[in-house]
Structure 1
Amino acid sequence: MHQGNSQVKDNKINLLVQQYEQFTILEEEYIDSGFARFNTIITSLKALDEGFSSKNYVRKFLRGLHPKWKAKIMAIEELKDLSSLALDVLIDNLKVHEVVMKKDSKIYRGKKERVKSIALKAKKESSDDETSTSERDDEE
């Protein structure tokens, strides 16, 4: 009976270690939801007396971020001592940056929409001019 329980535990550990090693945050996924998934994995590993060091968690989470975070990751690695950086401090830092990125993205999309609107107006006005020019040609 004990051997079966041991094998089940080993299988769970293997699955969780695989999930940990392959962990990534998707492009459109929020830091909160990515961290919730990550935290579930590491909490489950700890419950099975299997885990990694907290500094390993910080490095792994950074490696799991989408490439759009590359500049922020580099800044954190340059400015922070990753071996002493707590995971919750990292998450808070990333969430603040996420808010800034969303705000910048909305501003960019707003400007892009205004440019499209202006371009459409300009195109419409020029076709009106062509129509009136061709009407004048017809009258002559």
Structure 2
Amino acid sequence: MAGSQDDIPPPPPPPSQTPTQQTPHTEVIQNGNGPVSITTNTQGQIKVLPPRITKEILARERERKARITLLMALPEDHLAKFHKMTDAKEMWDAIKSRFGGNDESKKMQKYILKQQFKGFSISNLEGLHKGYDRFQSLLSQVEIHGAGVSTEDANQKFLRSLPSAWSQVSLIMRTKPGVDSLNFDDLYNNLRVFENDVKGSTASSSST
């Protein structure tokens, strides 16, 4: 049932962003999670210690959500085989190896991309330009894998994902006639018109 390794669809490339700007559980699937604290018992067996610091707690929660994301996308008759795996990246690699380039693997890829699209957001630190580049990259992956996002859905999602400093502009643009049929590049150029106003408003609020 497995196809050749050349047929395996590559996972989406990791976006160039800080960890707080990522969709955490899908990043865990692609890149693995951070190290966890372990110890060795008297029999020489390795044991993973419960999370204690905030960073470890967040890492464990992301790992749990990543596993759930993968298990939800698997066909029911394959759940038992992969359910015992505790590492999300290991599970993802095993799924690619098992299914190769067949329909199940392609469905899995689409599911992960849709999860990334659903959880997309832009922080104030990231700003309009970097957010645009990252969303454009995600849209390209969605199109390549046939995940099916309409122009209207893409434009509305991007506008809702803008940083809080853009909230008023976002509201204006979302209700603007014709915005749902705009090319994404044209939408971005429309937003750039408001950039100086947004920066001025942000600077004024910080000063106050």
In the superposition, the TM-score normalised over structure 1's length comes to 0.66
Aligned residues of 2:152 and 2:181 also touching (Cα < 8 A) = yes
**1:8-53 alpha-carbon deviations (Å, 9 max, x no partner):** 3222211111000000011221211111111111111111122211
Q: What SS class does the counterpart of residue 51 from structure 1 fall into?
A: coil
Query: Does structure 1 residue 4 correspond to structure 2 residue 88?
Result: no
Alpha-carbon separation, structure 2, partners of 1:67 and 1:109:
12
Q: Which residue of 1 aligns with 2:192?
A: 95
Aligned residues of 1:55 and 1:86 also touching (Cα < 8 A) = no
Counterpart of 2:149 (choices 21, 30, 52) is: 52
Q: CA deviation at 1:4?
A: 2.8
Query: Does structure 1 residue 13 correspond to structure 2 residue 105?
Result: no
Q: CA deviation at 1:111?
A: 6.6
Q: Which residue of 1 aligns with 2:161?
A: 64
Q: Which has the larger radius of gyration?
A: 1
In the superposition, the TM-score normalised over structure 2's length comes to 0.47
Identical residues among aligned pairs (%): 25
AA aligned to 1:90 is: L
Aligned residues of 1:42 and 1:51 also touching (Cα < 8 A) = no
Change (3 A) 1:110 1:44: closer
Q: Could you list the structure 1 runs, at least 4 aligned residues long, displaced by more than 3 angstroms after superposition.
A: 103-106, 108-112
Alpha-carbon separation, structure 2, partners of 1:16 and 1:64:
16
What are structure 1's unaligned runs of at least 5 residues? Answer: 113-140
Aligned residues: 111
Alpha-carbon separation, structure 2, partners of 1:47 and 1:82:
24
Aligned residues of 1:62 and 1:73 also touching (Cα < 8 A) = yes
Change (3 A) 1:23 1:73: same
**1:35-91 alpha-carbon deviations (Å, 9 max, x no partner):** 111111111111112221111110111111123222112222333323322221211
Change (3 A) 1:110 1:4: closer
Q: Which residue of 2 aligns with 1:127?
A: none
Query: Does structure 1 residue 40 correspond to structure 2 residue 126?
Result: no
Higher helix proportion (structure 1 or 2): 1
Alpha-carbon separation, structure 1, partners of 2:183 and 2:198:
23
What are structure 2's unaligned runs of at least 5 residues? Answer: 4-98
